[in-house]
Amino acid sequence: MRGIRKTLASQRQEPITLSTMSTTPIRVAVTGAAGQISYSLLFRIASGAMFGPEQPVILQMIEVPFEKPMKALEGVAMELEDCAFPLLKGMVVTGDAKIGFKDANWCLLVGAKPRGPGMERADLLKDNGKIFIEQGQIIDAVAADNARVAVVGNPANTNCMIAASQAKRLTPDRFTAMVRLDQNRAQAQLANKAGVDLTEVESIFIYGNHSPTMFPSFAHAKIGGKPAMEVITDTEWLKGPFCETVGKRGAAIIAARGASSAASAANALVDHVHDLMIPGKIHSVAVKSNGAYGFDPEVWAGMPVKTTAPGAYEVISGFEMCDFCKSKIASTNKELVEERDAVKSMLG
Ligand code: NAX
């Protein structure tokens, strides 16, 4: 296990630009840093994709404190060094979450226990619950005052709820879970079906759980400025194959690639955080529902949000829900409530 490495800035020969010198680095803590998502994610963050080309960063990479993952993480840090990213001003490589989350401005909770063969979903919820109780407590104790948390490790919505429940200093709105991969998948599917450029598809939002029960709400999407349902008139496709393809895309990737989504998941997390830092951005984020759109007030559910200030957002309310939409939301809400009930004893 290692402590804080000397910052890369001190090893660099190239001049540092004025804008970089006057900007305090954002400290980004990433768990599961030796995993496959992080192998793409860390390099995107260090290159400026998440916080922009002027914003320096310090990566605080956290793994489980065992020899194999820590050694692998050392290798990742070596590769980051070898990229000579001008924005990367320091790295922390650690198996100790108290060191890794110290003063972090963003805590990206990617690491989680995978579902093993024959493992029940309830066991997965409980095993991961323990990880997120601990991480929620540590983040609350040691992260920066302006800390924001984004949960990717599955079951992401419920893990996020558990972590948030442990926090006394950081309010629940600081804790979000990622449904952006589902939004991006839905956007691509609609563009393919309509035969238009991806950028013509707007306002496609994900409601509910990051699981096959999620609802990609085609009813409010726009294609080329028109309602998607006017452009794609095959309503049966929208209600059936479209929702199923988006909901089961993760399994389809595993079947094709022999491994779960990694680069696209990392890309979605870059989008998630990037859009939460830019006021005016409208996107799907899993947040504490507070009863919006008929969700149980205590669950974390995907829904449309508008970023109001860096790291702050408001839920966009007022989308009219048809009976089909209401039934989809009810079914994903039911699953979220069941997950919450399974971990009730773990909520702080
Ligand atoms: P990997 O198994 O490749 O990596 C996970 C890493 O996390 C491992 O290196 C492991 O040692 C580490 N880890 C486990 N517990 C930890 C802890 N307590 N502290 C620090 N590190 C810990 O998985 P990967 O493919 O990177 O996926 C990571 C998580 O993302 C999984 O839970 C996966 O299910 C989830 N996903 C979530 C998605 C979403 O849209 N919300 C999509 C992609 C992905 O499936």
Instruction: Say whether pLDDT at 2 is over 80.
Output: no
pLDDT at 15: 35
Grouping H, G, I as helix, E, B as strand and the rest as coil, residue 224 is coil
Q: Which amino acid is at 5?
A: R
Token reading at 29? 């803590």
CATH for 180-343 (1.10.1240.10, 3.90.110.10, 1.10.10.10, 3.40.30.10): 3.90.110.10
Cis amide bond preceding 279, omega within 30? no
pTM beyond 0.85: yes
Gap from CA of 109 to ligand 1 centroid (Å)? 8
Residues with CB under 6 A from ligand 1: 31-32, 34-38, 62-64, 69, 110-114, 131, 152-154, 156, 178, 181, 210, 250, 260-262, 265
d(CA 289, CA 164): 13
Instruction: Say whether pLDDT at 75 is over 50.
Output: yes
CB-CB contact of 179 with 186 (8 Å): no
**Residues in the chain, overall count:** 348
Task: Tell how strand 148-151 and strand 175-177 pair up.
Answer: parallel
CATH 3.90.110.10 placement within the chain: 180-343
Fold of 12-177: Rossmann fold (3.40.50)
d(CA 8, CA 159): 33
Share of the chain above pLDDT 70, in %: 94
Instruction: Say whether pLDDT at 80 is over 90.
Output: yes
Sign of torsion over alpha carbons 205, 287, 306, 52:
negative
pLDDT in tens, 295-345: 999 999 999 999 999 999 999 998 999 999 999 999 999 999 999 999 999
Query: What is the mean pLDDT of the segment spanning 71-81?
Result: 98
Share of the chain above pLDDT 90, in %: 88
Q: Is 272 in the active site?
A: no
Averaged pLDDT score across all residues of the chain = 93
pLDDT in tens, 128-149: 999 999 999 999 999 999 999 9
